[in-house]
Amino acid sequence: MNKQNNLSKSRRNYYVDIAIFLPFLLLLLSGIIMLGYHTGSPYSETIFNKDGYFWLNTHIILAIIASGTITIHLSFHVKWFKKLFSGQPKNKYWIRNLALFFLFSSTIITSVIPWLCLDESKTTSILLGVHNKIGLLLIVFFIIHLLSYFRWLTNMTKIVFGNKTMSNSNPMP
């Protein structure tokens, strides 16, 4: 029964991970496009026949979707957070995962504060500049995270879409 329970949790994690992937890729694309506007291009200028306001709104919507799915993903790993602060042994990726978590949190903070709390000021500009740089680091750490768990993702893909059994794969990252 425990093996079945692990498979069930693994499938749940897998589906959420897949749900994160597309919005995050689109967020990445819109973020790269937004870098051009943040570095001085006027918002009336178009990229792929869409102006800067379209890309900003798209980026915000995708950020909300990606943040929601990432929050769900993190909620599945509460045990990992508890281990992190309890002194228990950690997995081999704990430093990378912790860095990813802090980059994710910092990216959200540096975008939400200017968006909700500040008007057009020098502080807003500075925070958005920091957001851009942390966002680029987040991309790098996200790719490292994906590569770290690539074997698990491919094994789960075989399980979900094929007839591979759980005994041939690592059930949970």
pLDDT at 173 over 70: no
- As a whole number of angstroms, the distance between CA 136 and CA 132 comes to 6
Whether the Cβ atoms of residue 36 and residue 44 lie closer than 8 Å to each other: no
Instruction: Name the range with the highest mean pLDDT among 2-6, 89-93, 127-131.
Output: 127-131
Confidence of residue 168 (pLDDT cuts 50, 70, 90): very low
pLDDT at 165: 53
pLDDT at 2 over 80: no
- As a whole number of angstroms, the distance between CA 68 and CA 2 comes to 29
Give the pLDDT confidence of 136-150 residue by residue, as tens digits.
Answer: 999 999 999 989 889
- As a whole number of angstroms, the distance between CA 112 and CA 107 comes to 9
- As a whole number of angstroms, the distance between CA 108 and CA 105 comes to 5
Confidence of residue 1 (pLDDT cuts 50, 70, 90): very low
Confidence of residue 130 (pLDDT cuts 50, 70, 90): very high
Lowest-pLDDT choice from 45-59, 60-74, 82-96, 130-144: 82-96
Whether the Cβ atoms of residue 130 and residue 120 lie closer than 8 Å to each other: no
pLDDT at 131: 93
pLDDT at 71 over 80: yes
pLDDT at 47: 92
Is-above-0.85 flag for pTM? no
pLDDT at 49: 94
